[in-house]
């Protein structure tokens, strides 16, 4: 096979990888935005989750007006602590601002691309 074939093959793989990474980023941003927006309207909301091992995770949840840190394993759930509302609300405000900046930059990029075509 020629060297040009392998170069084109590599470029095609790179383009596919970049497209997949971009789609992954968009899906993650949309999911985070959905959680942040729905946090004020729902009685129970999982705000953030962190996987600790294959069978254990920690979740920050909102129940009514309380914020709890919950540990989860295969067969059980346990309340680890109650989080201060001021700390969580400050984090939520920061995340919402970051989401707004991301949406604005994405909208700006889309406008730029529309003008070029």
Rounded to two decimals, the pTM is 0.52
- Number of compact structural domains in the chain: 1
Structural domain that includes position 51: 3-116
Q: Give the residues across from 31 on adjacent strands.
A: none
Distance CA 79, CA 58 (A): 10
Contacts of 32 (CB under 8 A, 6+ apart): 95, 99
Instruction: Write out pLDDT tens, residues 63-117.
Output: 888 899 999 999 899 999 998 888 888 888 887 777 777 666 766 677 776 776 5
Cα(5)–Cα(104) distance, integer angstroms:
40
How do residues 4-61 score in pLDDT, each as one tens digit? 888 888 889 999 999 998 888 777 766 666 655 665 667 788 888 889 999 999 999 9
């Amino acid at each position: 096979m020629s060297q040009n074939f392998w170069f084109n093959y590599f470029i095609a793989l790179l383009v596919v990888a970049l497209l997949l990474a971009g789609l992954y980023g968009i899906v993650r941003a949309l999911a985070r935005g959905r959680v942040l927006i729905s946090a004020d309207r729902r009685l129970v909301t999982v705000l953030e989750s962190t996987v600790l091992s294959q069978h254990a995770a920690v979740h920050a949840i909102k129940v009514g007006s309380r914020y709890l840190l919950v540990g989860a394993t295969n067969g059980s759930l346990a309340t680890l602590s109650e989080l201060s509302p001021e700390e969580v609300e400050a984090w939520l405000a920061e995340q919402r601002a970051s989401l707004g900046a991301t949406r604005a930059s994405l909208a700006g990029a889309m406008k730029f691309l529309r003008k070029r075509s």
